[in-house]
Amino acid sequence: MFISVPATSANLGPGFDTLGLAIDLRNEIVIKPSRFLSVSTKGEGADNPKIKKNTLFLHIFNEQYRRLTGGKQPVFRFEFTNRIPISRGLGSSSAVIVAAITAAHVAAGAKYNKRKILNTALRYEHHPDNITPAVMGGFNVACLEGERVYSKKRRLPSYLRAVLVVPDRTISTNRSRNVLPKMYTKEELVYSLSRAAYMTALFMSESWDLLRIAAKDKIHQERRMKVMPELFEVQKTALEHGALMSTLSGSGSTFFNLAYADDADALATALAERFPQFRVMTHGLDNTGVIGKS
């Protein structure tokens, strides 16, 4: 059995907990029948004892597998290849959740569709901006109604690239949420709401050259960037060297830069030269989302 799930970038500036897209940077899991549970991990986090054990994946997989099989004890060998940087705002936790639920359905031989996977994932991650593109691929607008995700997907063209600037340290989701105020002014809300709506229209109509206007935000982005002030310079450098938009990816610390494929290498070079202490990665965008094969 084989499971593959993409990285994601959420918020995209003004689309707080609402907008997200999938990046062609994938974690993969090979699952084999076994007489006893065993786990091997290579790639990102392989030298971290907590991550190496894949505790979150196994917890969700076991819970879902037992639910689908009427209580059977799962015994498998799991071989993880992690390519998504961990705790850097690229949806590594959402990828684990989506992969585990999909893997449980495949291993149990249970029928499923992506909408079912998405709504099940909501039990473990109550923000749809990462889990939706991880499941569906593409650019997604998502909202919650009760315990259900409602979303709309737009496929992304092959002539765009994600140029990612990945700092050498994390910004925890809890810390990044704690820096946000409990109250906002009407002006701040209207500023960001109007740009989230405008960004959605631009993605749906493929009007890329206006994205840098739509990507501005007054809800979360600058407040979170102050935790790691050099991110302001990352954004400035990216916009000066051809980025169509430059936004904090999720709660950080990665910065997501969208560029035309013809401009991506020059943008990546400029960022790598300016910030040699950070990783710079260039990837295509993903329209497939999670893949599960028996």
Question: Do residues 109 and 151 both lie within one domain?
Answer: yes
Q: Is 204's pLDDT higher than 90?
A: yes
What is the share, in percent, of the chain residues with pLDDT greater than 70? 98
Question: Do residues 225 and 248 both lie within one domain?
Answer: yes
- Look at residue 45 in the predicted model and tell me its pLDDT: 85
Question: Do residues 107 and 186 both lie within one domain?
Answer: no
The reply, when asked if residue 34 is annotated as ligand binding, is: no
209: containing domain: 160-283
- Look at residue 52 in the predicted model and tell me its pLDDT: 65
The CATH number assigned to the domain holding 259 equals 3.30.70.890
Question: Do residues 165 and 150 both lie within one domain?
Answer: no
The reply, when asked if residue 93 is annotated as ligand binding, is: yes
**185 and 8 in contact (C-beta within 8 Å)?**
no
The pair of structure tokens assigned to 224 is 């979170």
Question: Do residues 165 and 254 both lie within one domain?
Answer: yes
DSSP state of 1: -
Closest CA to 165 of 262, 247, 44, 221: 247
Q: Mark 32-63 as b/e (b = at least 16 C-beta within 10 Å).
A: eeeeeeeeebeebbeeeeebbebeebbebbeb
- Look at residue 173 in the predicted model and tell me its pLDDT: 65
- Terminal CA-CA length for the chain: 4
Q: What is the pLDDT of residues 55-85, one digit of tens each?
A: 899 999 999 999 999 999 889 999 999 999 9
The reply, when asked if residue 192 is annotated as ligand binding, is: no
Question: Do residues 131 and 274 both lie within one domain?
Answer: no
The reply, when asked if residue 92 is annotated as ligand binding, is: yes
**131 and 118 in contact (C-beta within 8 Å)?**
yes
What is the share, in percent, of the chain residues with pLDDT greater than 90? 88
162 pLDDT band, cuts 50/70/90, is: very high
Torsion sign, CA atoms 89, 26, 116, 33: negative
151 against 49, higher pLDDT: 151
Q: Is 241's pLDDT higher than 80?
A: yes
Structurally, the chain folds into a number of domains equal to 2
- Helical segments of 206-250, H only: 211-214, 221-225, 230-240
- How far is residue 65's CA from residue 198's CA, in Å, rounded to a whole number? 42
The reply, when asked if residue 4 is annotated as ligand binding, is: no
Question: Do residues 143 and 237 both lie within one domain?
Answer: no
The pair of structure tokens assigned to 186 is 């009407």
**287 and 137 in contact (C-beta within 8 Å)?**
yes
**What would you report as the CA-atom Rg of the chain, rounded to the nearest whole angstrom?**
19
The reply, when asked if residue 89 is annotated as ligand binding, is: yes
Map residue 147 onto helix, strand or coil. coil
Mean pLDDT of 175-198: 93
- How far is residue 108's CA from residue 102's CA, in Å, rounded to a whole number? 10
- How far is residue 198's CA from residue 210's CA, in Å, rounded to a whole number? 9
Backbone angles phi, psi at 175, to 5 degrees: -65, -40
CA–centroid distance for 92 within its chain: 7
Question: Do residues 139 and 29 both lie within one domain?
Answer: yes
Question: Do residues 87 and 51 both lie within one domain?
Answer: yes
The pair of structure tokens assigned to 269 is 């070079």
- Look at residue 170 in the predicted model and tell me its pLDDT: 85
- Look at residue 177 in the predicted model and tell me its pLDDT: 76
Question: Do residues 174 and 132 both lie within one domain?
Answer: no
Q: At what angle do helices 128-136 and 92-108 cross, to 10 degrees?
A: 50
The reply, when asked if residue 38 is annotated as ligand binding, is: no
- Look at residue 49 in the predicted model and tell me its pLDDT: 74
Residue type, 243: A
Pairing type for strands 38-43 and 76-82 reads parallel
Question: Do residues 151 and 110 both lie within one domain?
Answer: yes
Question: Do residues 143 and 215 both lie within one domain?
Answer: no
Residues paired with 282 in a beta bridge: 163
